[in-house]
Amino acid sequence: MAITAADVNKLRQQTGAGMMDCKKALEETNGDFEAAIDYLRKKGAKVAANRQDREAKEGVVLAKVNDDNTKGVVVAVNCETDFVAKNQDFISFVQKIAEIALQHTPADIESLKKLPYDNNISVHDKLMEQVGKIGEKIDIGYYQSVHCPYVVSYIHPGNRLAVVVGFNKKTDEEVGFNVAMQAAAMSPVAIDKDDVDPKLVERELEIAREQVRAEGKPENMVDKIAEGKLNKFYKESTLLNQEFFIDSKLTVRQYLQNSDKELTVTHLKRFSLGN
């Protein structure tokens, strides 16, 4: 059957694929729109398979919180080039995935990919569609959710870093936002000392011991001095013990307690491209 320009444009509007790809899809499927959409998805899967060895280090990182601030998500969708990452259509695509993640809060990335994107198309199929349309390796690189009495998000300008912070109780919006900005700017490895991965603690202690020995300190002082260095690590690298970026005379814990003595952070999800 004859494929008209209107047919090609209709398929392009539905899929976002290029004009020539849409024309070829309709020609290969004798004008069957549903079959043509499937053809384009399969093309995307083929492109994805051909680009498995490529590195997708660019992308968009977004955070979203629901209307009553009780749950939030951080989602990163990776691509190969900064050009694609800055394209508004791609940013809108990632925003839609973040909205789906926030609505359903699936357990993991694979569960997120199985959710419907639009008109019974799964998130996975939409990803393949984007691969076929853009011609780059595109995939969900990070996803985490938080459920708390109060959740705040922060997206750093440029969409390369995003944070959600969960609190044990509702707090002033400004207080929550300031702590989220702190987490974004100061890159804590954990919320408090007890939350640090034991392997990381042992690594820091071992580095500290070697530094102390290199300074020529007596062996019987090595462990004590190393513990002191570890405490410095906690102050620099755990959120509640860090100096508050607005007032260095306060720790983040003290800043929160000045607002409400019972207020604390219970959950933290932070992701930046290049992690």
pLDDT tens digit string along 43-70?
765 555 555 556 678 999 999 999 999 9
CA dihedral sign of residues 186, 187, 192, 198:
negative
HSE of 94, CA atoms in CB hemisphere, 13 A: 29
Q: pLDDT, tens digit, for every residue of 152-189? A: 999 999 999 999 999 999 999 999 999 999 999 999 99
pLDDT category, 257, cuts 50, 70, 90? very high
CATH for the stretch 58-191+267-272: 3.30.479.20
Mean pLDDT, all residues of the chain: 90
Min mean pLDDT across 31-40, 44-53, 128-137, 194-203 is at 44-53
In the chain, CATH 3.30.479.20 sits at 58-191+267-272
In the chain, CATH 1.10.8.10 sits at 5-50
Min mean pLDDT across 94-103, 131-140, 195-204 is at 131-140
CA distance 200 to 128: 38
Q: Which two tokens mark 130?
A: 């984007």
* End-to-end CA, the chain: 51
pTM recorded for the entire structure:
0.78
CA distance 275 to 242: 21
- The overall longest dimension of the chain from CA atoms, in Å, is 88
Region 118-141: mean pLDDT is: 87
Note the CATH architecture for domain 5-50: Orthogonal Bundle (1.10)
pLDDT score of 33: 83
